[in-house]
Structure 1
Amino acid sequence: MKRTMRTTALTVSALVAALGMPAGAAHADGTAPRVDLRTLIVSDGGPATGAIAAELDTAGTPYTTIDLNQSGRPVIDAGFLADTVDGRPRARFQAVVLPNDNPFPADSPEMAALADYERTYDIPQVDAYTYARPEAGLQYPDYSGDVDGVQAEVTAAGKAGAFGYLKGAVPFEDISPTVSESYAYLARPAEGADFTPYLEAPVPGQSARGSLVGEYRHDGRRELVVTFVYNQYQQQFQLLARGIVEWMTGGVHLGASRNYFAVHVDDVFAADDRWDTELNCTPGDVDCPDGAGTPDPIRMTAADVDHAVAWQRDHHFTLDLVYNGVGSVDQRAEHNGADAPADRLIAERGEFRWVNHTYTHAFLGCEQDVTVVPWRCASNADGSTKWVSRKDISDEIAHNRQWGQSVGLPLQNDELVTGEHSGLKVLPQQPDDNPNLAPALTDNGVSWLASDNSRDPVLRKVGSATTVSRYPMNIFYNAGRAAEQVDEYNWIYTSRAQGGSGICEDNPATTTCLPAPLDLATGYTDHIVPLETRIALGHVLAGDPKPHFIHQSNLAEDRLAYPVMAGVLDGYRALFADDTPVVNPRMKDIGVEMQRRADWRTALGNGQVTAYRIGGTVTVSAPAGVTVTATMPAGTTLSGHAFGSAYAGALSGWTASTGQPLTLGLPSSAAAPHTAAKAAQHGPVTVPAPRTRVPAGVSEPPAQNTAG
């Protein structure tokens, strides 16, 4: 049965080639094959294939993995790769990703089967990390070694093709001067090879440039040849990942990827307590013994508001101001009705987005016993936890909403950020949500509730609300001056022997101790800003929509947040073309995106989605109520109407399924060639062991100072 099906597919292909007919001619008589929109990833356990899989996971693009290290794995043969459905030849995978250009033993027929399949159905192959050699279309390397800090460049061919969303520069990270982070083979195309470099870098000590990513056409097949090793967290891969996917799918695939950046500014109108550099705690907050020190609050001025407005306009970016109304009410009570910064914020309210942060920023979980450090939950007489009541929670939400409406703030009433994300579980003191939180959220029509990604990262329901986890930036809420930030940073991230708290020593799995305390004058600019910028930009480049959060204190005094935010935006815009902007959504839109992604992943995981292409038509089937996501070339239509919206030179979007198949019409320019030629066999390649690591600083910062 398998032999008959394979022969049919080859006969169609051979007929097209023998007659010199274009692919469209075969399509016209109904013999075009069906190509399923799914990728085959053959993995050897290395980081490169894992990185490509992670990119597909993020976008929601389906794939099947074959682990070469797994005993009893499926054998890759003609029957595994193709069959017949409804009398039509079917290619089960639209692309193949291999760990290198031939990872199979010399006596294995699997590479021959893949080559035959790729040639028959015009299926592209990605060599995720391979040695430069003639069998991959390249000369032997002009250089092999570290490429940390190298400035690679997208070629004209790359910009005209799948990597056109990049401006050109692709900098390779060099996070640590003592650790090799990236290893590469730089080589020129082999003599006579049909090889087109897409990414090149200068060969050390020579005037030549060597390929790092390029396309090799041979024997009726196409390979994307990558000659540097990477992992999913490294910036160079994150920059190139979209192009790799677009190249191997021809720009036609399920799933979509955009780059997001949103920043929430908590405690607006209120004041934040200040770190005491002598006591090494924050008077007025729960980390100081009760009554210790003198509070010295940090609060924005009218000039800080004007600076925020001007900065937003200069950077084409909108901040989300997360507000507590009582801050202004108390200020006016103490100053005969005067509150200049609040007046400026209210006057400029249309320049920002606004989110309810409760009226007084009260802790809405258990009632806190702050007579001890760290605090603990207070108990009732019977030993049970004493919880903040449903009424008190509801009053905090409703009162702040009413105050905001009274001063004309443009609110979305279904969004909420509780003070310190309270009400939700807080380990170790409060391992469960306040049972009164869910009904209070429902009482107030809250649909989207912020959570802290460092302690509550998973999307989940709480009453009527769905959580939207936020990344804490390690710019402390209790620091208005750079020296205060550095002093507290040293306290957290240095050992006891160096005068620190030892927190880093006690939590080695999540926190790395500094080799020495940072200089109070330069530590913020030289260490903290670059680190926080890199972490946040990494989230953006990974297509992660989760918002980041800081505090109003970070926009006051030394205005500590701006160098980090500008570093992210300016760094991004220096790398990406204008058609690939940072997407800056508000909280509820992020929540909708995250919920759609979760539902889509579930449908894919349950095998409830099928998608395939026949000629210029793509058909997608999904259960009713599931929102389908796809990326298609410009000019694609959905049931005769324009599909999706433009991003990175393509169209992408979400479409709700009614349970009936969705039909997308591709533009004529997206017609895929269908060729046949004799396969050339070459032996397996042994690639040196990857030399790469997860860069330092990628793990999230600890949450000791992310009050919310």
Structure 2
Amino acid sequence: MKRTIRTAALTACALIAALGLPAGVAQADTATPRIDLRVLVVTDGGPATRAVEAELDGEGIPYTEVDLNSASRPTIDASFLSDTVDGRPRAKFQAVVLPNDNPFATGPEMAALAAYEQTYAIPQVDAYTYARPEAGLQYYVYGGYAGSLDGITAGVTDAGRAGPFGYLDGAVPFEDNDASVSESYGYLAVPLVGADFTTYVDAPVPGTTGRASLVGEYRHDGRRELVVGFVYNQYQQQFKLLARGIVDWMTDGIHLGASRNYLAVHVDDIFAADDRWNSTYDCTPGDVDCTDPGATGSTIRMTSADVAYATSWQETNDFTLDLAYNALGSEDFKEENDGSDPLLTSLVADKDDFRWVNHTYSHEFLGCVQNTTVVPWVCATNTDGSTQWVSQAQISSEISTNAAWGQANGLPIDTTELITGEHSGFFVTPQQPVDNPNLASAFTANGIQWAGSDNSRDPQQRQVGSALTVPRYPVNIYYNAGTKADEVDEYNYIYGSRAQGGSGICDDNPATTTCLAAPLSTTTGFDDYIVPLESRQALGHVLGNDPRPHYVHQSNLAEDRLLYPVLTSVISQYRALYADTAPVVNLRQKDIGAELQRRAAWKSALSAGTVTAYRIGSDVTVQAPAGTQVTATVPAGTTLGGSEYGTAYAGERSGWTASTGSALALTLPAPAVSLTGTPASADSVETTSTAPGTRIPAGLTD
């Protein structure tokens, strides 16, 4: 049965009642409202609202969660949504995220939300809703589609590029990582005839030549809804591509927090030679677990030709590698080659083309003293049973000697940065469950402020002496592989079942490691399987607003140069997806560390409730304790103290500003943000009416 919608304007008294304002505050009816920079997320526990929350967390945007599954959750009514501050009406939330267009079991809460959105022009995101007239769409059976979206390539429309998704070049590919698993489900639908609906992202309708909406804006009853017609989780590429635009749409591009896409790659062991994988014995000669006396092998080391290739590749791809060097590798090579090291000569000649990081002089293990007479190794102990530790003096020597050698050879190093060999000195389980107690003091003695750590075992930044850690992502291209055949053979062993002649790790740990269906071809497996997999995983980090660097080894720049196919794939895919206004950000280690440090402090300030932010018309005010690094995203042209705020990215401005304790006053560019809407009383809002032009298929009722 159809029901009508009443949109009569309120009188001043009715507006006061709708806002829950006390009598006698009629002047608030004409005051420009205050809109707090906070998002309301109403969740049903599904993956779509969890994904939006993850994006808000990642960007540093404050939000309030209301869990529909919680018996103790607050009731969403006028007093929950708004009040007055200093006689001015206040909207407590700048945007509302719902799991669908109407998730409430009863009508009053949705009616209260609708009245709130109308009164303050608050946008609403329907995180995942099926195609139906209440969302401004025809049922999918009329020119649309419902089902798996795996592998489709959606596209940003002209309206989307001119609006919230302008940072994308156009294509929005949906993942299809496993042909046996349905990874994405959704609805492609045609907007209702006569509905005020703008499609931002569409896709081809299977079996037809037409396209239909996946994401669009539905304007009705003085409200705006972003209608998302597919389900997703926070890790899927399609969501990561659209997440920024969803946030910008709901906040009008004015919010606390910020987002950028980062990529940095550290190449460890520069000047050293890495031992090569032995495919006969399935181990690496020189490693403590390669004990068979017949297991011998050669080493892998870059050449001058590899340096020339690296500099050329960097110039072509407009990207800078970070080279983590071990000086003893060059000194040993010179000793064995009449005092000459062509690799050193080439790298010194091109030293300014790279960034350089101290990786210690000899790559010595700097944790406990290792007892390698057993496999796996254990920490050596003193007579009283206590652990033998590498001394502070020895750690300091490794740091300072390498730094002095680099400076003597003209390498432009920053002595506050360090990466220890194998991330040693930090804890490594199960043998060494705590840091070497001498590590912190050695860092402090040498002025180390930023120390690389292994994200796979130590993912959170933490303080160690004078240093903060910089967690690094390992790339699954092995240090002991110089050729594609080496890489694939070792890959087959590690991820192969025992029945396939593999290590059996996947047999013993099925929850965390999947066995290969069959061994990869040593001829084609690298290009056909490993490169797509590793580039997809690295690209996922890039698209996740995650500044953490990746790391590989110098052997991966030598021989078959295994790094480049993966890295070229990541960069080329990225540039095909993003507009030039959103370039990949390539930071050095200390700048990554500082970004992580600021984010942690910002998150702590938000959690403590010490940050207040709101906008009134064209003015944005942020109040935070003195010393707090404040971050916000605003439209281009926004000023702070008469100067344009922040730096440009994706068509907006964002940045970090140290609070002095006084309010930070940002001025938005003209025209100021419109805060218009058609006021209506809560009891006059109809939230389930059928929109114009509706056709109802058999079996469905309105």
Q: CA deviation at 1:287?
A: 2.6
Which runs of 5 or more structure 2 residues have no equivalent in the other structure?
Answer: 1-11, 22-26, 691-702
Distance verdict in 2 for CA 1:402–1:9, change over 3 Å: farther
* Residues 633 and 670 in structure 1, CA contact (< 8 A), matched pair in contact too: no
List per-residue Cα deviations over 1:4-52 (Å, max 9, x = no partner): 9984285999xxxxxxxxxxxx99x971000000000000111001111
Corresponding residue for residue 281 of structure 2: 279
List per-residue Cα deviations over 1:85-141 (Å, max 9, x = no partner): 111100000000000000011x33100000000000000000000011111011111
* Residues 143 and 185 in structure 1, CA contact (< 8 A), matched pair in contact too: yes
Corresponding residue for residue 98 of structure 2: 98
1:367-516 to 2 correspondences below 5 Å: 367-516=369-518
1:23-422 to 2 correspondences below 5 Å: 31-105=31-105, 107-141=106-140, 142-289=144-291, 293-422=295-424
* Residues 493 and 503 in structure 2, CA contact (< 8 A), matched pair in contact too: yes
Corresponding residue for residue 681 of structure 1: 686
In the aligned structure 2, how far is the partner of 1:468 from the partner of 1:248? Answer: 33
In the aligned structure 2, how far is the partner of 1:9 from the partner of 1:53? Answer: 32
Distance verdict in 2 for CA 1:6–1:481, change over 3 Å: farther
* Residues 6 and 78 in structure 1, CA contact (< 8 A), matched pair in contact too: no
Indicate the SS of the match to 2:52. Answer: helix
Corresponding residue for residue 526 of structure 2: 524
Indicate the SS of the match to 1:140. Answer: coil
In the aligned structure 2, how far is the partner of 1:255 from the partner of 1:395? Answer: 42
Indicate the SS of the match to 1:433. Answer: coil
1:8 aligns with 2:13: no
Q: Which moved more, 1:227-236 or 1:202-211?
A: 202-211
Q: CA deviation at 1:510?
A: 2.2
List per-residue Cα deviations over 1:438-457 (Å, max 9, x = no partner): 00000000000010000111
Q: CA deviation at 1:243?
A: 0.3
Q: Which moved more, 1:364-373 or 1:675-684?
A: 675-684
In the aligned structure 1, how far is the partner of 2:13 from the partner of 2:37? Answer: 20
Distance verdict in 2 for CA 1:9–1:91, change over 3 Å: farther
Letter aligned with residue 112 of structure 2: A
In the aligned structure 2, how far is the partner of 1:167 from the partner of 1:12? Answer: 45
Letter aligned with residue 95 of structure 2: A
Corresponding residue for residue 694 of structure 1: none
Q: CA deviation at 1:675?
A: 1.7
* Residues 20 and 79 in structure 2, CA contact (< 8 A), matched pair in contact too: no
* Residues 203 and 210 in structure 1, CA contact (< 8 A), matched pair in contact too: yes
* Residues 78 and 116 in structure 2, CA contact (< 8 A), matched pair in contact too: yes
Corresponding residue for residue 608 of structure 2: 606
List per-residue Cα deviations over 1:450-504 (Å, max 9, x = no partner): 1000011111000000000000000000000111111111111111111111112
Corresponding residue for residue 690 of structure 1: none
* Residues 621 and 661 in structure 1, CA contact (< 8 A), matched pair in contact too: yes
Letter aligned with residue 674 of structure 1: T
Indicate the SS of the match to 1:109. Answer: helix
In the aligned structure 2, how far is the partner of 1:203 from the partner of 1:275? Answer: 49
Indicate the SS of the match to 2:89. Answer: strand
Q: CA deviation at 1:507?
A: 2.3
List per-residue Cα deviations over 1:354-389 (Å, max 9, x = no partner): 000000000000011111221111111111111000
In the aligned structure 2, how far is the partner of 1:609 from the partner of 1:30? Answer: 28
In the aligned structure 2, how far is the partner of 1:554 from the partner of 1:197? Answer: 45
In the aligned structure 1, how far is the partner of 2:13 from the partner of 2:183? Answer: 47
Q: CA deviation at 1:291?
A: 5.2
Indicate the SS of the match to 2:415. Answer: strand
Q: CA deviation at 1:268?
A: 0.2
Indicate the SS of the match to 1:420. Answer: helix
In the aligned structure 2, how far is the partner of 1:483 from the partner of 1:365? Answer: 33
Distance verdict in 2 for CA 1:500–1:346, change over 3 Å: same
List per-residue Cα deviations over 1:590-625 (Å, max 9, x = no partner): 000000000000000111111000110000011111
Corresponding residue for residue 704 of structure 1: none
* Residues 134 and 689 in structure 2, CA contact (< 8 A), matched pair in contact too: no
* Residues 66 and 73 in structure 1, CA contact (< 8 A), matched pair in contact too: yes
Q: CA deviation at 1:516?
A: 1.5
In the aligned structure 2, how far is the partner of 1:524 from the partner of 1:293? Answer: 25
Distance verdict in 2 for CA 1:528–1:11, change over 3 Å: closer
In the aligned structure 1, how far is the partner of 2:636 from the partner of 2:330? Answer: 50
* Residues 94 and 122 in structure 2, CA contact (< 8 A), matched pair in contact too: yes
Letter aligned with residue 622 of structure 1: A
Q: Percent identity?
A: 65
How many residues end up aligned between the 2 structures? 669
* Residues 145 and 184 in structure 1, CA contact (< 8 A), matched pair in contact too: yes
Indicate the SS of the match to 2:621. Answer: strand
Root-mean-square deviation (CA, aligned residues, Å) is: 1.8
Q: CA deviation at 1:508?
A: 2.5
Q: CA deviation at 1:76?
A: 0.3
Q: CA deviation at 1:292?
A: 5.3
Letter aligned with residue 681 of structure 1: E
* Residues 381 and 388 in structure 2, CA contact (< 8 A), matched pair in contact too: yes
In the aligned structure 2, how far is the partner of 1:601 from the partner of 1:286? Answer: 42
Q: Which of 664, 667, 690 in structure 1 is aligned with 2:666?
A: 664
Q: CA deviation at 1:683?
A: 3.7
In the aligned structure 2, how far is the partner of 1:670 from the partner of 1:306? Answer: 53
Indicate the SS of the match to 1:652. Answer: strand
Which runs of 5 or more structure 1 residues have no equivalent in the other structure?
Answer: 14-25, 686-708
In the aligned structure 1, how far is the partner of 2:592 from the partner of 2:312? Answer: 25
Distance verdict in 2 for CA 1:6–1:177, change over 3 Å: farther
In the aligned structure 2, how far is the partner of 1:41 from the partner of 1:317? Answer: 38
In the aligned structure 1, how far is the partner of 2:407 from the partner of 2:119? Answer: 65
1:551 aligns with 2:553: yes
* Residues 219 and 677 in structure 1, CA contact (< 8 A), matched pair in contact too: no
Indicate the SS of the match to 1:238. Answer: helix
Distance verdict in 2 for CA 1:33–1:677, change over 3 Å: closer
Distance verdict in 2 for CA 1:680–1:140, change over 3 Å: farther
In the aligned structure 2, how far is the partner of 1:275 from the partner of 1:371? Answer: 21
Taking structure 2 as the reference length, the TM-score comes to 0.93
Letter aligned with residue 110 of structure 1: E
Corresponding residue for residue 695 of structure 2: none
Q: CA deviation at 1:560?
A: 0.4
Q: Which of 566, 571, 576 in structure 2 is aligned with 1:574?
A: 576
Indicate the SS of the match to 1:573. Answer: helix
In the aligned structure 2, how far is the partner of 1:548 from the partner of 1:70? Answer: 40
In the aligned structure 1, how far is the partner of 2:512 from the partner of 2:549? Answer: 21
Corresponding residue for residue 21 of structure 1: none
Letter aligned with residue 53 of structure 2: A
In the aligned structure 1, how far is the partner of 2:518 from the partner of 2:587? Answer: 39
In the aligned structure 1, how far is the partner of 2:65 from the partner of 2:291? Answer: 55
Corresponding residue for residue 564 of structure 2: 562
Q: CA deviation at 1:320?
A: 0.1
* Residues 289 and 371 in structure 1, CA contact (< 8 A), matched pair in contact too: no
Q: Which moved more, 1:259-268 or 1:482-491?
A: 482-491
